[in-house]
Amino acid sequence: MNFNATLIGQSITFAFFVWFCMKFVWPPIMNALEARKKQIADGLAAADRGKHELELAAKAAADNMRDAKVQAADVLTQAEKRAAQIVEDAKIAAKAEGERQLAAAQASIEQEANRAREGLREQVAQLAVAGAEKILRREVNAQAHADLLNQLKAEL
Amino acid sequence: MSGEAHTSGEYIKHHLQNLVFGQHSDGTWGVAHSAAEVKEMGFWSINLDSMAIAIGLGLLLMFLFRLAAKQATTGVPGGLQNFVEWVVEFIDGSVRGSFSHQNAMVAPLALTVFMWVFLMNFMDLLPVDWIPHTAGALGVPFFKVVPSTDPNVTFGMSLTIFALVLFYSTKMKGPGGFFAELAFQPFPKFLFPVNLLLEGVGLIAKPISLSLRLFGNMYAGEMIFILIALMFGGNILLGVFGGVLQWAWAVFHILIITLQAFIFMTLTIVYLDMAHSEHH
């Protein structure tokens, strides 16, 4: 074992390499490792969060679906009720209208009948007067018996 | 075997000799061509092979990791980034497991120690003659390939770590607190010379054991590779047997080089944790 200045040279070289490693090698690699570790952890956390959100969204969608079904059923029931109501109303209205028209028709028939009866009465009265006139022509002065004739006409 | 190494002993010695640059006894500067010349150069010389490979591997390491660090994004990582992140997370886990204080330097230190020591040990898996022979052909007399079989390298690292231990011990506990830790336990205060001796030995044993463990393991492993390589100089039967042995030892050595790098890193973390802790 010969000791010589190699001892010093090696010490200096060693110190230099340690310094270089400490300054330029170790920190960037450790930083990269730490950053990647953090990135992976973040990614996993994000994935978990995403999964959780997906579950929530699925739940919300199912809720919405159920609500929509209930609402649709409500709407359907109401619509049916309303349709039945409309049909019922229409029936009542139609019945009322029919009765009204029937009554109007009966009233007008009655009027017509009254009018015909009135006309007939007039004609019968005239016929009766005319007959009476022919019978009584000679002895009855039309002027003298006008009152009597009118009275008769009114009684017919 | 290279030119001047003929016997087994010379072959082994040649493989264990560093390429040393320093001042010759005649005053000129240059590369030592023999062990005797190395001795004459004394302390102020430098092992060119250890330094070149250690620095080269360190630069390669820092280049690759810096590349990955620059490309680091939070997106899907590529191949290099994946590997680097895997290593970084492994180191980070080790540091979190053994180091219980706040210090931004410890994890990068552990990363550098682990990867650098691993790469330096890894050179052991290259067949022992490749690089020395290539170097020999280029006129370079010696070339020791594995920097971690050079005690200068392992001690250079462990002493730097020891300096950090002393620095943080003083910084976290204060000079008085650090001294108290060394002098006033495990025995009562009036026995402080005994305490100081015990704790002092314990303290100094840390860097020595740290570097000698790595050095010893890698040196022994390299030595076995060299001994196996000697077989290739014998007859064909011995050569084939040597090939099998080399393969088996290399497979086993993959475990050893990783384990030694891991132990070096873990002990570095533990020593620094002890330096930060109030009592241990």
User: What angle is formed at CA A107 by the lines to CA A103 and CA A109, rounded to 5 degrees?
Assistant: 115
Does residue B4 have a pLDDT over 50?
no
What digits encode the pLDDT tens for the residues B41-99?
888 888 998 999 999 999 999 999 999 988 877 777 788 888 998 999 999 999 999 99
**Separation between Cα atoms, residue B182 and residue B26, nearest integer Å:** 48
| Phi-psi group of B27: left, alpha or beta (phi > 0 → left; psi -120 to 50 → alpha; rest → beta) | left
The mean of the pLDDT values for chain B is 88
Residue B85 belongs to some domain of the structure: yes
Q: Which residue of B has its CA nearest to A11?
A: B156
Contact: A39, B74; criterion CB under 8 Å: yes
Does residue B153 have a pLDDT over 70?
yes
| Chain B contact probe: residue of A1, A23, A26, A40 with most B CBs at under 10 A | A26
What digits encode the pLDDT tens for the residues B179-236?
888 888 788 888 888 888 999 999 999 999 999 999 999 999 999 998 888 888 778 8
Contact: A21, B152; criterion CB under 8 Å: no
pTM confidence score: 0.74
Give the pairing of strands B46-47 and B20-23: antiparallel
Structural domain containing residue B219: 49-276
Contact: B44, A4; criterion CB under 8 Å: yes
In B, residues 58-97, which contact A (CB 8 Å cutoff)?
58, 61-62, 65-66, 68-70, 72-75, 84-85, 88-89, 92
Q: Report the percentage of chain B scoring pLDDT > 70.
A: 97
What digits encode the pLDDT tens for the residues B112-141?
999 999 999 999 888 888 888 888 888 888
Q: Tally the domains of chain B.
A: 1
Domain residue ranges in chain A: 8-155
Q: What pLDDT score was predicted for residue A96? A: 95
B16-25, B157-166, B224-233: which is most confident: B157-166
Cβ-Cβ contacts under 8 Å, A21 against chain B: 62, 65, 108-109, 111-112
What digits encode the pLDDT tens for the residues A66-105?
999 999 999 999 999 999 999 999 999 999 999 999 999 9
CA within 13 Å, CB half, B136: 17
**Separation between Cα atoms, residue B186 and residue B194, nearest integer Å:** 9
Q: What pLDDT score was predicted for residue B1? A: 39
Q: Closest to A17 (Cβ–Cβ): which among B47, B62, B104?
A: B62
Write out the catalytic residue numbers of B: 209, 213, 217
Band of the pLDDT at A3, cuts 50, 70, 90?
Answer: confident
Q: Report the percentage of chain A scoring pLDDT > 90.
A: 67
